[in-house]
Amino acid sequence: MASNSHPHPWSPLQAPKHLAKKLSLDPKTLSLASSDFGHINYETPLAVFEPTSETDIIDLIKYSNSLPKPFTIAPRGQGHSTHGQGLTHDGVVLNMNRLSDSRNGSEIVVYDEYVDVGAEQLWIDVLGATLKHGLTPLSWTDYMYLSVGGTLSNAGINGTAFRFGPQISNVLELHVVTGKGDLVKCSHVSNSELFYGVLGGLGQFGVITRARIALEPAPTRVKWLRLLYTDFSEFTKDQEHLISFHEKHDTSGADHVAGYILANLPPPRDVSFYSEHDLPKITSLITQYGIVYSLELGKFYDNDSQSHVEEELANLIKGLKFIPTFLFEKDLSYQEFQNRLQVDIEFLKSKGLLDIPHPWMDLFIPRSRINDFNEGVLKDIILKQNVPVASIIFYPMNSNKWDDRMSAVTPNEDVFYALGLFRGCFDKKELEASEAQNWQILQFCKDTGIDVKVYLASYKTQLEWVEHYGSKWELIKERKDEFDPKRLLSPGQKIFN
């Protein structure tokens, strides 16, 4: 009786033979699985599970469910979370990457209208495979070396989301192993509650093992522009104008709309786009105004439409209120454009700046309050404090491209903005100052009633998650009870554990 109510914690040494041989206790493997891109949170798992089939994942989850004191299971894609969302201290990290060893050529299979991919695959490889057939997924992240399962567990956004929605809006079907160990094929019409649950579901309801992603014919080239503003309301008015084109079913609009905030803060940021020749005048504009807004626009085209693209582009930017002498343009292949962040990542890697703490924060801000946000956060907090920010992203999206039946949450307005604060810290003092500033921003929004939603959130208490989900909380709880009643999956999100 007593031993049932207080069962001993599980040890990997107790696992049945067929699972034990795939549970690694190697110190180096455990150490790699004990942190993430953020380098802020550290938790050592009891073991790392190396599945070579979906059946292995089913067996592991069923085994844990069968124990009097089940262990937690944390699927890990590329480990690119920033605050330990993929970690566990009382369970097993599920190394999704090992699955690809067993795929035998079925890792990425391209059809006319969709691609079937293993959830452990990287988006860069999905792009490479589909382009061979002249096809492409529609919605992207800026960084392409993320796993399909990892981004679909969040949302997957960049400057294409205004038009095609986040990556979760472009999924046709999923294979999921639930927290009970059932392998379920699900879609909008079949087992839809699980389908909507896992999309944006932060790994809470099941392990995504396979995804079917919608494809369209791929363009071959991209006109990539940056237009600079010193006036926030002109900048946002123009961004919103550009994202409204497709709402009116007008295909002559932009295909990619994003934006950056350039400010006089250490270290120098987001300047790799610009040539050596242009940099001095941009720097002096930033020095003069303190803050400069950069609108990023991408217009896709192919060889057939080459003759029209210049004219379409000219029409598109006619009437925009950027500073006329601060328009910068590049022309590159579609593949280079989608992989454009890699140049910056390689640079950071070469300087050893990828292995330092990254207290990033991503927010969704309701459109109606962006002026208050600009004054209260961008100018009064970020600009006035000397806390390092490597890059600040700021761009709008259309809510109607998101599906509210999915688990992701967004502000309750037709248009909302994404803010990304990307930081790297060299010492404890910088890390503390950055985390304090992140907290101050959230507190400012709370105090002034700006109903922001944190993207890629890292709350520490369930109460904060209840607030985050708002009216969706009951649904999230019901989904957890149905698909992972023993609360095994993705404990690092700290929603139910």
Ligand X SMILES: Cc1cc2nc3c(=O)[nH]c(=O)nc-3n(C[C@H](O)[C@H](O)[C@H](O)COP(=O)(O)OP(=O)(O)OC[C@H]3O[C@@H](n4cnc5c(N)ncnc54)[C@H](O)[C@@H]3O)c2cc1C
Scanning 101-109, 250-258, 271-279, 488-496 for contacts with ligand X by CB under 6 A, the matching segment is 488-496
The minimum distance between CB 164 and ligand X, in angstroms, equals 13
CA atoms of 118 and 110, how far apart (whole Å): 12
Q: Is 490 in the site for ligand X (CB under 6 A)?
A: yes
Lay out the site mask for ligand X across 454-473 (x = CB under 6 A, - = otherwise): --x-----------------
State phi, psi for 255 to the nearest 5 degrees.
-100, -20
The C-alpha atoms of residue 371 and residue 364 are separated, in whole angstroms, by: 14
Q: How far is the CB of 315 from ligand X (least distance, A)?
A: 29
Phi, then psi, of 183 in degrees rounded to 5: -85, 120
CB 250 → ligand X: shortest distance, Å? Answer: 26
Residues 6+ apart with CB under 8 A from 475: 407, 469
321/238 Cα distance (integer angstroms): 7
CB of 24 or CB of 154, closer to ligand X: 154
Closest approach of ligand X to the CB of residue 305, in Å: 27
Q: How far is the CB of 307 from ligand X (least distance, A)?
A: 32
Pattern of binders to ligand X over 58-97, x per CB under 6 A?
----------------xxxxxxxx---xx---------x-
Q: How many Cα neighbours within 13 Å face the side chain of 7? A: 10
Specify the residue, 321 or 472, whose C-beta has the smaller distance to ligand X.
472
Closest to ligand X by CB, 139 or 437: 139
Among 23-31, 100-108, 201-209, 409-417, the segment contacting ligand X (CB under 6 A): 201-209
Print the binding letters for residues 116-135 with ligand X: x by CB under 6 A, - otherwise: ---x----------------
* Amino acid (one-letter) located at 390: A
Q: Which is nearer to ligand X, 74 or 450 (CB)?
A: 74
Q: Smallest distance from the beta carbon of 340 to ligand X, in angstroms? A: 11
Q: Which residue number, 119 or 406, has a Cβ lying nearer to ligand X? A: 119
Stretch of 25-33, 137-145, 260-268, 478-486 contacting ligand X, by CB under 6 A: 137-145
Give the residue with the Cβ less far from ligand X, 164 or 322.
164
Q: Which of 203, 219, 259, 298 is the binder for ligand X (CB under 6 A)? A: 203
| Closer of 156 and 165 to ligand X (Cβ) | 156
Work out whether 493 is an interface residue with ligand X (CB under 6 A). Answer: yes
CB 322 within 8 A of CB 295: yes
Residue 194 · residue 483 · CB < 8 Å: yes
Select 86 or 359, whichever has its Cβ closest to ligand X. Answer: 86
Q: Which of 406, 430, 223 is nearest to 317 (CA)?
A: 223
Residue 102: exposure state from Cβ atoms within 10 A (0-12, 13-18, ≥19): middle
Written as one string, the DSSP assignment of 195-230 is HHHHTT-TTSSEEEEEEEEE-EEPPSEEEEEEEEES
Half-sphere exposure of 149 (CA within 13 A, CB side): 29
Residue type, 203: G
DSSP notation for 428-480: HHHHHHHHHHHHHHHHHHHHTT---EEET---SSHHHHHHHHGGGHHHHHHHH
**Binding test (CB under 6 A) with ligand X, winner from 108, 221, 492, 494:** 492
Q: x/- site string to ligand X, residues 146 to 165, per CB under 6 A?
A: xx-xxx-xxxxxx-------
The binding track of 29-48 with respect to ligand X, each residue x by CB under 6 A or -, is -------xx-----------
CB nearer to ligand X: give 40 or 282: 40
- By CB under 6 A, residue 208 contacts ligand X: yes
| Distance (Å, whole) CA 212 – CA 219 | 21
Q: Cβ closer to ligand X: 313 or 489?
A: 489
Q: What SS3 class is residue 178?
A: strand
CA distance 158 to 91: 33
Q: Which residues bind ligand X (CB under 6 A)?
A: 36-37, 74-81, 85-86, 96, 119, 141-143, 146-147, 149-151, 153-158, 202-203, 207-208, 456, 490, 492-493
